[in-house]
Copies of this chain bind each other. A is one copy, B any other.
Amino acid sequence: MEETIELLEAAQDDDGYLSTYYQIDAPHLKFRRLFESHELYCIGHLIEAAIAYKEATGSGRLLQIADKAIDCIEARFGKSEGKIDGSDGHQEIELALVRLYESTGNRKYLDLSSYFLEVRGQNPHFFAEQLEENDRLGLQQGPKPVINTVYHQAHKPVIEQDSARGHAVRLVYMAQAMAGAGRHKQDEKLIGAAKKIWENIVQKRMYITGGIGSTVRGEAFTYDYDLPNDLMYCETCAAIGLLNFSNELLKTETDSQYADIMERTLYNSIISGMALDGKHFFYVNPLEVDPQASAENPDKSHVKATRPSWFGCACCPPNLARTLPAVGGYAFTQKEDEVLLNLFIDSELAGEQAGEPYTIRQKHTVSETGQTVIAVEKASSEQLRLGIRIPYWAENPVLVVDGQETVAESSNGYTYVTVISDSMAIELTYTIAINEIEAHPLVKADKGKVALQRGPFIYCLEEQDNGIQLHLLALTGSVRPRFRSDKLLGDSVFLEAEGELQVMEDGWQGKLYRVHQKPQTIPKMLTFIPYYNWGNRSLGEMQVWVDKEDTHV
């Protein structure tokens, strides 16, 4: 790491500019092709890396580089005469600057973030005008790319954007910054706009796995309820972005709906992005895969049936790599007047209250029932208010505080325990629901189908357990968990369900169409594995949504 930092120090221009492509290959085009240059996007990630490095090692050396780069950006961007009055084509620096403000308390970072949020979409022609100017100045000629302002969320001011449109990663990165900047500036309009976008996503444009982006073309959102299972994009980075956006809103407003989505994305569409070997990655996280379709139908060529080891555009693997060690930060939310426990993961929080330290440790065991044991220790004599999320999938939750079964006060999905003494032992037990979930009737792709969910985990069928032609299967009866130790998949809970298989009669030989006959079926036990585990065995079909035959029940 120190070696990399040295390289960055050496590469950075005196004025703080840092983007080796432009420094070496096209210095005359610095900040002049913002629609695609990713110059500020990369500085945004540099800022985030610098904060993490500081937190992990105490060293501010990377932060100095980031700070110098920000000086350069501040000198070049803004409303004053001679400055560039516009933003990057790929949002990221906005959220990074909010983080840096939180880390340093220096208001100038928040102001710069706000500037980039405010300037976006004010002049929808900004990117195109840059290219025209380059042409006029003879800096770059030739055919000008067509700018799709919606793709960049630059079609109108961010505060007026009330649905999720354009490139999915860009949108959630931007919305996260809106929520964060809005919170720090107590800007209700900005927070309100961020919430509108969030509601549009989770109520109308999100896959059951927490994946987002219904099309590969533009890696983008499409329209309400348009959620095709085999054509979608569901980029790992987009799910991570939705996790962070939800986390930001949770900081703004205590409501477990945000933690529900954090959990949905993290436990499904995010961790599915990495193979169990930790060395292979999905960029695209589909809900239905047929290897033949991926190979022979070019509309599905972006849908990989196994995880490649790397990508030309390698944003997702490192994004996952930085998210997983940061999971503790999602498990707890520290607010001024309360601490929230959001996710049930072995973890520990160290905080300060009235200048005195406290720690909260949680230990999570799960089989057919789940148990979370929480130990709080604190030095201050002040009360500590701990909100524990009772997830929507936890049945018959029982809270035991210092050995006493307790019915605690609940609000917005959190149950509150007030820690008065210097230590407290809290135990939450619950049974884990297994549910057949259906999608809104306007989701055409899921009509007549259900997905299985156990606790926070979405399940799927794989060819390895159920044979080929998964679409011929249907659920007909009850579902039960089975604890399995699999050589390739490790220890996990499979689901076994009563189902049926549509039989292909011999009469079909040589025919493509015939007069309808009632389908012939035979009973068949179906095996489901957790979605995050798919694609870890041989090449095969996978399917999340399964036909549901209600008539048999």
User: Which residues from chain A sit less than 8 Å from chain B, CB to CB?
Assistant: 199, 202-204, 206, 208, 214-218, 220, 222-223, 226, 228, 231, 290, 292-293, 296-299, 435-444, 447-448, 450, 469, 471-472, 502, 504, 508, 510-519, 547-548, 550-551, 553
Instruction: Give min CB distance, A512 to chain B, whole Å.
Output: 5
Does A436 contact B515, Cβ atoms closer than 8 Å?
yes
Does B292 contact A514, Cβ atoms closer than 8 Å?
no
Instruction: Give min CB distance, A209 to chain B, whole Å.
Output: 11
Sampled A-B contacts (24; CB under 8 Å): A203-B511, A208-B513, A214-B297, A215-B297, A215-B299, A216-B299, A217-B299, A222-B293, A223-B292, A223-B297, A231-B231, A231-B299, A299-B299, A435-B515, A436-B516, A438-B513, A438-B514, A438-B516, A439-B513, A440-B511, A441-B472, A447-B472, A448-B547, A518-B553
Neighbour of A508 across the interface among B217, B218, B440, B518, CB < 8 A:
B440
Q: Count the copies.
A: 2
A292 cross-chain contacts in B, Cβ below 8 A: 223, 226
Given contacts A439-B512, A440-B512, 17 further A-B pairs with CB under 8 A are A203-B511, A203-B512, A215-B297, A226-B292, A231-B231, A231-B299, A436-B516, A437-B513, A437-B514, A437-B516, A441-B469, A441-B508, A441-B519, A442-B469, A442-B504, A448-B448, A448-B547
**Chain B residue with the shortest CB-CB distance to A469:** B442
A448 to B551, CA, bound (A): 14
Instruction: Give min CB distance, A273 to chain B, whole Å.
Output: 21
A472 to B550, CA, bound (A): 16
A447 to B546, CA, bound (A): 12
**Chain B residue with the shortest CB-CB distance to A445:** B471
Does B299 contact A441, Cβ atoms closer than 8 Å?
no
A547 to B444, CA, bound (A): 12
* 9 closest residue pairs by CB, A with B: A217-B298, A436-B516, A222-B297, A223-B296, A438-B516, A444-B471, A551-B551, A518-B550, A450-B516
A553 cross-chain contacts in B, Cβ below 8 A: 518
**Chain B residue with the shortest CB-CB distance to A220:** B298
**Chain B residue with the shortest CB-CB distance to A288:** B444
A442 cross-chain contacts in B, Cβ below 8 A: 469, 504
A437 cross-chain contacts in B, Cβ below 8 A: 513-516
A203 to B510, CA, bound (A): 6
A516 cross-chain contacts in B, Cβ below 8 A: 435-438, 450, 548
Does A440 contact B551, Cβ atoms closer than 8 Å?
no
Does A204 contact B512, Cβ atoms closer than 8 Å?
yes
**Chain B residue with the shortest CB-CB distance to A214:** B297
A436 cross-chain contacts in B, Cβ below 8 A: 515-516
Does B547 contact A447, Cβ atoms closer than 8 Å?
yes
Does B439 contact A502, Cβ atoms closer than 8 Å?
no
Instruction: Give min CB distance, A164 to chain B, whole Å.
Output: 12
Instruction: Give min CB distance, A266 to chain B, whole Å.
Output: 17
**Chain B residue with the shortest CB-CB distance to A438:** B516
Instruction: Give min CB distance, A354 to chain B, whole Å.
Output: 40
A228 to B514, CA, bound (A): 18
Does A297 contact B439, Cβ atoms closer than 8 Å?
no
A508 to B513, CA, bound (A): 37
Instruction: Give min CB distance, A438 to chain B, whole Å.
Output: 4
**Chain B residue with the shortest CB-CB distance to A227:** B512
Does B547 contact A226, Cβ atoms closer than 8 Å?
no
Instruction: Give min CB distance, A205 to chain B, whole Å.
Output: 8
* Contact A512-B202, Cβ < 8 Å, known A444-B471, A469-B442: yes
Instruction: Give min CB distance, A223 to chain B, whole Å.
Output: 4
A551 to B450, CA, bound (A): 19
A510 cross-chain contacts in B, Cβ below 8 A: 199, 203
